[in-house]
């Protein structure tokens, strides 16, 4: 295993998703961190305060010398305990790469929380996922299952493709967002591209 740590750049090379967050060597800034303590306490079961905080981070996850995931966040807070977690209170940007190291999907949200023991990350508040075809998912809560390379939601979702908009409650897909399933479809809107096209 090889790793290189910089003030604003964390690069981890490992074959396991479950370990790249554990390798954080945070710059500790004590009481200067800003957290959503109530949300963290719901996960840990008690009032929690971060033991480490780091700002302006970029994390690269690679396998067989190929970058698979890049995560950037303005701030990350580490919480220890029976259920250690990493909080990203100011949002997160996750890029997933294919074998040619091209971005094939991107996930962003205004808040994220990673449960280390479960190897999952929960993205909340204005969650957006876009794939290489330009198809877009909007929801308020999404779970990224790192081990199984899947994303899913039990909340209301909207998926926009080149020719339609689909609404539903519940969704699951591979993390590349190339194969997906919408549950309990509430409605579909067909996009007529010629609707506003003037006649020749």
Q: Would you state the pLDDT for residue 5? A: 28
What is the DSSP secondary structure assignment for residue 199, as one 8-state letter? P
Bigger pLDDT: 55 or 167?
A: 167
61-102 tens-digit pLDDT: 888 778 889 999 999 998 887 888 899 999 999 999 988 889
- Contact indicator for 83, 115 with CB cutoff of 8 Å: yes
Q: Would you state the pLDDT for residue 19? A: 42
Any residues with CB less than 8 A from the CB of 173 and at least 6 apart, and which?
137, 150, 151, 152, 179, 180, 181
111-155 tens-digit pLDDT: 999 998 898 999 999 999 999 999 999 999 999 999 999 999 999
Domains of the chain, start order:
2-190 (2.60.450.10)
154-182 tens-digit pLDDT: 999 999 999 999 999 999 999 999 999 99
Any residues with CB less than 8 A from the CB of 42 and at least 6 apart, and which?
none
Closest by CA position to 55, among listed 71, 33, 36, 82: 33
pTM given for the model: 0.72
Any residues with CB less than 8 A from the CB of 118 and at least 6 apart, and which?
none
């Amino acid at each position: 295993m090889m790793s290189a740590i910089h003030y604003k750049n964390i690069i981890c090379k490992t074959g396991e998703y479950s370990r790249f967050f554990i390798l954080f060597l945070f710059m500790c800034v004590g009481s200067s961190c800003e957290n959503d303590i109530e949300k963290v306490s719901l996960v840990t079961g008690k009032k929690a305060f971060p033991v480490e905080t780091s700002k302006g981070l970029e994390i690269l996850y690679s396998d067989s010398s190929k970058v698979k995931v890049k995560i950037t966040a303005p701030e990350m807070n580490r919480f220890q305990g029976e259920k250690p977690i990493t909080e990203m209170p100011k949002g997160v940007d996750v890029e997933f790469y294919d074998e040619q190291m091209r971005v094939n999907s991107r996930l962003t949200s205004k808040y994220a929380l990673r449960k280390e023991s479960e190897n999952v990350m929960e993205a909340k508040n204005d969650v957006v996922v876009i794939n290489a075809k330009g198809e877009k998912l909007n929801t308020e809560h999404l779970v990224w299952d790192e081990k199984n390379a899947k994303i899913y939601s039990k909340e209301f979702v909207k998926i926009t493709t080149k020719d339609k908009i689909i609404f539903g409650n519940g969704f699951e897909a591979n993390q590349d967002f190339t194969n997906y399933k919408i549950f309990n479809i509430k409605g579909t809107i067909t996009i007529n591209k010629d609707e506003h096209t003037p006649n020749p």
